[in-house]
């Protein structure tokens, strides 16, 4: 295999040919599927026709009906190159593929008993030779034939044109998708499913048939997803004025899938994890995620499918925007604060980490070897934060004006991030020149704020500084546009408005807005009667690290009085973080002051949303704390700090948790937001109670773990039993496994709970679980549950003897040939090897070097390892 070369954004060239129509005739067979592809091509630019193709057997090639002599074309392991072609012609290709041996789950593969496809980013080239790039848009007609009994459903994009019987117990179906689309949105499914049907009438009067296909026997577990789909369709009409454009919308749930789901036009393919959900088997969080992924894929129909990417460097054009849209959807339908906090935690725990790693890249990368490596928290989640900043700067109305212009200008096109920003700019007459740096600059900006109050002059001065640390390949950084939402409070906790000329504006969120544009700047407020307490970066208005002059007393005031719920949560987090950092720096147990305990008690009993309280009582993880130590990370001190902080909060507030716990009803049959919130807080209370008094609460936890009918309660208890190693733990684990052994998605929770345990036998336990009959390296969900969770469990993964490293290395070695995309996702913790002590550095580096020597090292791993080891 030839080594894969890097591609650069700056090298973009329009394709030499366009493909206007594609007729596929796919004759499905487990081992030898035959694909006949008829293309109409037209010359657009000079140059040969270079079709992409991998792992294909070419059996025939014709141009305008005539067999092409072998001297007129070349076949390499990645391309089919044809010279001397007319300007407009028909091409017919016949290729053969083997879906059964496809364990990479890219292209056409078998998931359990069904055939399915995954073509984004560059999977279509594993089905047939094609111009497999997103700026080639064609109208697809697809005929599928297969055994009738094994594969009663034959599905593809668009509308069903015809279907019928064939000889030998086979049948066929022909689908036509009228919307020109890039090949990455092509999909095919053949299998035997149960089908849930419903309808949706669009605001434009179209009657859309909605269908969800699931494995036999799972129909009732698809109802929630169907309801979520209808909510998504309605929300997109109401908030974005975007309606669906085909007569059918199909979702198929499959068990073998590398990611969450895929937005193929009219035929979404989903990881069953994000479709199947009922009270028995799914937790409240699972329901929330199902709704958000259903929404995300649906919203892609406009932001991604109708308006797509010119090239893969522009991935954030569709992903950042669609994540922003799904976040807004969840926030409009549920608790805005809770969803915002969830998004902030993802940025702080994972995106900041990526920004500080050798794989740091801007949301619009400049250089890519393996595209699958760039479906990252940076492109997706930081991308969504960049869109959110635009929304903050332009306001909802201005943002929607920009969206309308974007759609008017680019519907049906493959475009760039620049086109999106230009539309926002033109629709609002708002200069975004400097804002564009967010697209090209990698790294997490650091903002420092200093406050000076002159009592005599009644003047308040604020000094701001911003700095983005260098990232690999980007030494020099420039100042960014950083919108800072803020609110000022007086000493009693009442919100006050500060006035400064034009620099500060009142924002529609209720906060005030000041926007940084320079490396340093300052702001003066006059007539300020007393020194205020200012909550900065409210609602996490920019993806930056912030240092403020707030004292712990100020934070207590904000925790008790801030009007914005996210600000209250943030104040609690800052209180914890200060205590944790002090503990780490002195290598002692963490402590809080009396007044801090009092403030926390007040928060627990305050009339706040229970879900928000649950988040306030979720302490920063070891991983979040680790972000502050980029050299010689003091793992032992971090472990002491996080475990001692949890213990002291548990001990000091034990009566309060007990009181709160007694008052909260678990309402196992209620799926309302209120009931979910109550369960979330109940879980936090029980977590602390069982930590403070393990003997006393072991039975209670064991009982809850066996309570059938509500997975939130069962899993919650399982986690507590495992995390605190309660006396009941082994019994709870055994009962749970017995009950759920035949429900893989629930067994994943069982694997995950053990992989997440902070206990020092975790490495051994995970090693044993790899041999468990219900575990399989071939199924990504199992791998993520057991091994991705373990690899993120920093305190155990970095165990001193290196056993965690060896374990992960051996798994990555096996996955290198089995499923490189999954292997590549697991390598993340090794990327940070330089942040640890010399001994650990050596062990991790050795693992990387050994992986690098693997015969047939996949490009996915090759790219990351090369970056990790680069000097």
Minimal distance, residue 345 CB to ligand B3K, in Å: 20
Q: Which is nearer to ligand B3K, 104 or 637 (CB)?
A: 104
Q: Which is nearer to ligand B3K, 274 or 435 (CB)?
A: 274
Number of residues lying near ligand B3K (CB under 6 A):
12
Paired strand residues for 465: 448, 520
Nearest to 119 by CA among 307, 333, 268, 324: 268
User: Quick check: bond before 121 cis, omega within 30?
Assistant: yes
Alpha-carbon gap, residue 783 to 790, rounded angstroms: 10
Nearest to 635 by CA among 837, 864, 867: 837
Nearest to 513 by CA among 490, 551, 542, 491: 542
For residue 211, the tally of other CB atoms under 10 A from its CB is 19
Q: Which is nearer to Zn ion, 235 or 525 (CB)?
A: 235
Q: Which does 832 bind (CB under 5 to 8 A by kind): Zn ion, ligand B3K, none?
A: none
Answer for which of 144, 262, 294, 868 binds ligand B3K (CB under 6 A) is 262
Q: Which does 387 bind (CB under 5 to 8 A by kind): ligand B3K, Zn ion, none?
A: none
**Largest interatomic CA distance in the chain:** 95
Which range in 317-325, 436-444, 450-458, 668-676 contacts Zn ion by CB under 5 A?
317-325
Alpha-carbon gap, residue 16 to 33, rounded angstroms: 30
Q: Which is nearer to ligand B3K, 73 or 298 (CB)?
A: 298
Q: Which is nearer to ligand B3K, 324 or 751 (CB)?
A: 324
Q: Are 791 and 822 in contact (CB under 8 A)?
A: no
Q: Which does 93 bind (CB under 5 to 8 A by kind): Zn ion, ligand B3K, none?
A: none
| Catalytic choice (106, 120, 263, 297) | 297
Answer for which of 259, 726, 826, 865 binds ligand B3K (CB under 6 A) is 259
Answer for which of 132, 263, 311, 863 binds ligand B3K (CB under 6 A) is 263
Q: Which does 375 bind (CB under 5 to 8 A by kind): ligand B3K, Zn ion, none?
A: ligand B3K
What is the DSSP track for 224-268?
HHHHHHHHHHHHHHHHH-----SSEEEEEEES--SSSEE--TTEE
Which H or E run contains 487? strand 482-489
Q: Which does 120 bind (CB under 5 to 8 A by kind): ligand B3K, Zn ion, none?
A: ligand B3K
Q: Which is nearer to ligand B3K, 124 or 775 (CB)?
A: 124
How many angstroms separate the Cα of 693 from the Cα of each of 507, 654, 697, 725, 731? 47, 9, 6, 12, 19
Which range in 107-115, 221-229, 313-321, 505-513 contacts Zn ion by CB under 5 A?
313-321
CA angle 325, 313, 264 (to 5 degrees): 55
Nearest to 19 by CA among 45, 41, 36, 50: 41
Answer for which of 132, 245, 286, 319 binds ligand B3K (CB under 6 A) is 319
Mask: binding to ligand B3K, 275-314, rule CB under 6 A, as x and -? ---------------------xx--x--------------
Which range in 39-47, 205-213, 256-264, 557-565 contacts ligand B3K by CB under 6 A?
256-264
Q: Which is nearer to Zn ion, 203 or 331 (CB)?
A: 331
Nearest to 537 by CA among 573, 466, 462, 485: 485
φ/ψ of residue 489, rounded to 5: -125, 145
Nearest to 185 by CA among 80, 93, 269: 269
Buried residues in 259-297 as b, exposed as e (16+ CB within 10 A): bebbbbbbbbbbbbbbbbbbbebbbbebbbbbbbbbbbb
Alpha-carbon gap, residue 159 to 176, rounded angstroms: 5
Minimal distance, residue 332 CB to ligand B3K, in Å: 20
Which range in 164-172, 259-267, 561-569, 584-592 contacts ligand B3K by CB under 6 A?
259-267
Q: Which is nearer to ligand B3K, 296 or 835 (CB)?
A: 296
Q: Which does 259 bind (CB under 5 to 8 A by kind): Zn ion, ligand B3K, none?
A: ligand B3K
Q: Name the packing angle between helices 694-706 and 711-723 (round to 10°).
A: 150
Which range in 260-268, 275-283, 389-397, 415-423 contacts ligand B3K by CB under 6 A?
260-268
Alpha-carbon gap, residue 187 to 157, rounded angstroms: 6
Per CB under 6 A, 345 contacts ligand B3K: no
Q: Are 239 and 332 in contact (CB under 8 A)?
A: yes
Minimal distance, residue 320 CB to Zn ion, in Å: 9
122 is catalytic: no
Which range in 157-165, 312-320, 465-473, 520-528 contacts Zn ion by CB under 5 A?
312-320
Q: Which is nearer to Zn ion, 175 or 298 (CB)?
A: 298
Per CB under 6 A, 132 contacts ligand B3K: no
Minimal distance, residue 122 CB to Zn ion, in Å: 16
Mask: binding to ligand B3K, 348-377, rule CB under 6 A, as x and -? ------------------------x--x--
Q: Which does 372 bind (CB under 5 to 8 A by kind): Zn ion, ligand B3K, none?
A: ligand B3K
Alpha-carbon gap, residue 692 to 222, rounded angstroms: 40
Q: Which is nearer to ligand B3K, 120 or 748 (CB)?
A: 120
Alpha-carbon gap, residue 771 to 774, rounded angstroms: 8
Q: Which residues are catalytically annotated? A: 297
Q: Which stretches of the chain bind ligand B3K, using CB under 6 A?
A: 120-121, 259, 261-263, 296-297, 300, 319, 372, 375
Q: Which stretches of the chain bind Zn ion, using CB under 5 A?
A: 319, 322
């Amino acid at each position: 295999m030839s080594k894969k070369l890097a591609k650069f954004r700056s090298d973009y060239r329009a394709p030499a040919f366009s493909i206007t129509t594609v007729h596929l005739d796919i004759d499905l067979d487990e081992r030898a599927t035959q694909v006949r592809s008829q293309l109409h091509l037209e010359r657009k630019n000079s140059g040969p026709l270079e079709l992409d193709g991998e792992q294909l057997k070419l059996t025939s090639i014709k141009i305008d009906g005539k067999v092409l002599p072998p001297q007129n074309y070349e076949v390499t392991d990645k391309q089919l190159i044809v010279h001397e072609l007319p300007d407009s012609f028909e091409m017919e290709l016949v290729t053969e593929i083997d879906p059964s041996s496809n364990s990479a789950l890219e292209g056409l593969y078998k998931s359990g008993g069904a055939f399915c496809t995954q073509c984004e980013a560059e999977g279509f080239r594993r089905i047939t030779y094609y111009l497999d790039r997103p700026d080639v848009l064609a109208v697809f007609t697809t005929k599928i034939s297969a055994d009738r009994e094994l594969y009663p459903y034959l599905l593809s994009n668009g509308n069903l044109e015809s279907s019928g019987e064939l000889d030998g117990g086979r049948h066929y179906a022909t689908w036509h998708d009228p919307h020109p689309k890039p090949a990455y949105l092509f999909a095919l499914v053949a299998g035997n499913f149960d089908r849930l049907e419903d309808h949706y009438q669009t605001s434009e009067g179209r009657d859309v048939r909605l269908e969800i296909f699931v494995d036999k026997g799972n129909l009732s577990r698809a109802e929630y997803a169907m309801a979520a789909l209808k909510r998504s369709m309605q929300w997109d009409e109401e908030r974005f004025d975007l309606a669906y454009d085909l007569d059918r919308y199909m979702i198929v749930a499959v068990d073998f899938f590398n990611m969450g789901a895929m937005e193929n036009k009219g035929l979404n393919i989903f990881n069953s994890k994000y479709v199947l959900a009922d009270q028995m088997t799914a937790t409240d969080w699972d329901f929330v995620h199902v709704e958000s992924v259903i929404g995300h894929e649906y919203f892609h129909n406009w932001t991604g499918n109708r308006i797509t990417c010119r090239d893969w460097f522009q991935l954030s054009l569709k992903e950042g925007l669609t994540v922003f849209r799904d976040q807004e959807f969840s926030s409009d339908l549920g608790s805005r604060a809770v969803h915002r906090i969830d998004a902030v935690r993802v940025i702080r725990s994972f995106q900041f980490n990526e920004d500080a790693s050798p794989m740091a890249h801007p949301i619009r990368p400049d250089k890519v070897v393996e595209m699958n490596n760039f479906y990252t928290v940076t492109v997706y989640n930081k991308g969504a934060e960049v869109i959110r900043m635009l929304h903050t700067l332009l306001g909802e109305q201005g943002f929607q004006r920009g969206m309308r212009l974007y759609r008017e200008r680019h519907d049906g096109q493959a475009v760039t991030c620049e086109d999106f920003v230009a539309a926002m700019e033109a629709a609002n007459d708002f200069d975004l020149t400097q804002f564009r740096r967010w697209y090209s600059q990698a790294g997490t900006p650091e903002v420092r704020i200093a406050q000076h109050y002159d009592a005599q002059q009644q003047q308040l001065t604020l000094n701001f500084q911003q700095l983005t640390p260098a990232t690999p390949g980007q030494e020099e950084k420039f100042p960014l546009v950083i919108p800072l939402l803020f609110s000022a409070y007086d000493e009693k906790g009442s919100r006050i408005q500060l006035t400064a000329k034009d620099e500060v504006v009142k924002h529609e969120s209720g906060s005030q807005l000041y926007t940084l544009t320079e490396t340093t700047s300052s702001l003066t407020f006059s007539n300020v009667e007393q020194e205020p307490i200012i909550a900065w970066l409210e609602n996490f208005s920019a993806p930056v690290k912030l240092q403020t002059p707030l004292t712990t007393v100020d934070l207590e005031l904000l925790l008790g009085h801030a009007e914005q719920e996210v600000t209250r949560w943030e104040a609690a987090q800052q209180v914890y973080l200060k205590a944790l950092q002090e503990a780490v720096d002195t290598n002692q147990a963490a402590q809080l002051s009396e007044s801090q305990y009092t403030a926390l008690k007040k928060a627990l009993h305050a009339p706040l949303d229970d879900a928000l309280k649950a988040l306030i009582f979720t302490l920063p993880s070891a991983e979040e704390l680790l972000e502050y130590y980029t050299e010689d990370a003091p793992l032992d001190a971090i472990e002491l700090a996080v475990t001692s902080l949890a213990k002291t909060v548990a001990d000091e507030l034990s009566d309060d948790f007990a009181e709160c716990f007694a008052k909260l009803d678990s309402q196992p049959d209620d799926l309302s937001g209120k009931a979910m919130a109550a369960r979330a807080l109940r879980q936090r209370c029980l977590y602390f109670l069982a930590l403070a008094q393990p003997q006393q609460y072991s039975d209670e936890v064991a009982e809850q773990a066996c309570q059938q009918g509500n997975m939130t309660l069962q899993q919650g208890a399982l986690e507590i039993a495992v995390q605190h190693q309660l006396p009941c733990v082994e019994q709870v684990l055994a009962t749970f496994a017995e009950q759920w052994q035949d429900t893989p998605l629930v067994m994943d929770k069982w694997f995950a709970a053990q992989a997440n345990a902070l206990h020092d036998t975790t490495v051994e336990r995970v090693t044993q679980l790899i041999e468990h009959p219900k575990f399989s390296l071939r199924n990504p969900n199992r791998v993520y549950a057991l091994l991705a969770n373990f690899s993120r469990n920093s305190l155990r993964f970095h165990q001193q003897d290196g056993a965690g490293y060896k374990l992960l290395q051996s798994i990555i070695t096996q996955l290198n040939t089995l499923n490189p995309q999954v292997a590549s996702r697991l390598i993340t913790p090794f990327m940070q090897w330089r942040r640890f002590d010399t001994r650990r550095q050596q062990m991790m580096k050795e693992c990387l070097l050994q992986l690098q020597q693997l015969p047939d090292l996949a490009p996915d791993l090759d790219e990351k390892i090369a970056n990790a080891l680069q000097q």
